[in-house]
Amino acid sequence: MRMVETQEERPEIMERLHRVGITNLRTVAKINWKGREYTFLPVIEVTIDVPAEKKGIHMSRLVESITEAMSEAVEEEVAKVHSSLEELGKCVIERLEGKHPHRRAEVWIKTHLIIPRTTPASGRTSYEPYDVEVGVIKHEEGSFEKVLRVRVIGNTACPHAMANNNGKTHIQRAIGELEIRAGFDEEIPLEEMIEVVESSFSHPTYTLLKTVDENAVVQGMYRNPKFVEDVAREIFAKAKERFNGKIHVRVVSNESIHKHDVIAETWN
């Protein structure tokens, strides 16, 4: 039986589409970073462009590219495992090359990193979770760009209330987001981006805190009061110094005195 390839037909409305593909696909991925293997259960999006004269794309070929890139990592020897999430993304696009014509392609991988830290007073190990997202974009002329995003949980201790209440102030959880858009070959480790954000709050936070550690964090927050504006500026200034690329910073503070949040955002 011969199959109809409706995707190859000429569409009624001839408009080029920039991004067509699959999204919200949960899968398993493995990378080998600095000699150690990490497993993720990321959510993936893969898109390509569609020219005005083709009705649609062959979605299953995008899925095959993902599966093959993942299985490389899962089934071949460790030496061949991709060394970063962006390498994994690029590999999906390279798999796509032979499978589906396109001029432009994007892969987005969203997952969590768990990084061990040392607590500030007792010196215990605490495993800290971070949300990360990596995008790899192949442009029409063939160049590769990457977009790296980290999301870190920290805090703000309000300097205005502190100045008006003899050192008492309101404190709250805050979330800092840093995005960098750069050439694919720029070396920008997600771990360093996380470090830039985490060090810009009133104090870093920890999953495990014994009483002596809790005291250190509390006293640290009071020594370092910050508006959401201050956190955003510090992330932005540090990121500009350390990384090449287009930088976007967004900090949201879950105010303990309000039911709404406050926000500070900037970019270059």
Residues 81-120 that bind a second copy (CB under 8 A): 111-112, 114
| Residue among 78 and 257 whose Cβ is closer to a second copy | 257
Neighbours of 259 (CB within 10 A): 6
Of residues 103 and 233, the one with the C-beta less far from a second copy: 233
Q: Considering the complex, what minimum distance in angstroms separates the CB of residue 90 from a second copy? A: 20
- Rounded distance, CA 13 to CA 21, Å? 19
Minimum separation from the CB atom of position 51 to a second copy (A): 11
- Residue 145 or residue 233: which is nearer to a second copy going by CB? 233
Residues 203-262 that bind a second copy (CB under 8 A): 203, 205-212, 214-215, 217-219, 221-222, 227-230, 232-234, 236-237, 252, 254-262
Cβ at position 156, least distance to a second copy in Å: 8
- Cβ proximity to a second copy: between 2 and 185 the closer is 2
Residues in 136-155 at the binding interface with a second copy, rule: CB under 8 A: 153, 155
Parallel/antiparallel/unpaired status of strands 246-253 and 29-33: unpaired
DSSP string, 125-194: EEEEEEEEEEEEEE-TTS-EEEEEEEEEEEEEE-HHHHHHTTT---EEEEEEEEEEEEETTS---HHHHH
Q: How far apart are CA 107 and CA 46, in angstroms?
A: 4
Binding mask 160-179 for a second copy (x = CB under 8 A): xx-xxx-xxxxxxx------
For the record, the structure tokens of 259 come out as 């039911």
26 in contact with a second copy (CB under 8 A): yes
In angstroms, what is the minimal distance from the CB of 3 to a second copy?
5
User: Residue 209: what are its φ and ψ, rounded to 5°?
Assistant: -140, 110
Considering the complex, what minimum distance in angstroms separates the CB of residue 243 from a second copy? Answer: 15
How near is the Cβ of 213 to a second copy at its closest, in Å? 8
Q: What secondary structure letter does DSSP report for 3?
A: P
Pick from 182, 204, 209: nearest CA to 194: 204
Output the smallest distance, CB 185 to a second copy, in A: 27
The rounded Cα 15 to chain-centroid distance in angstroms is 31
Residue from the set 19, 99, 104, 181 that interacts with a second copy by CB under 8 A: 19
Binders of a second copy among residues 49 to 78 (CB under 8 A) are 50, 55-57, 59-60, 63-64, 67, 70
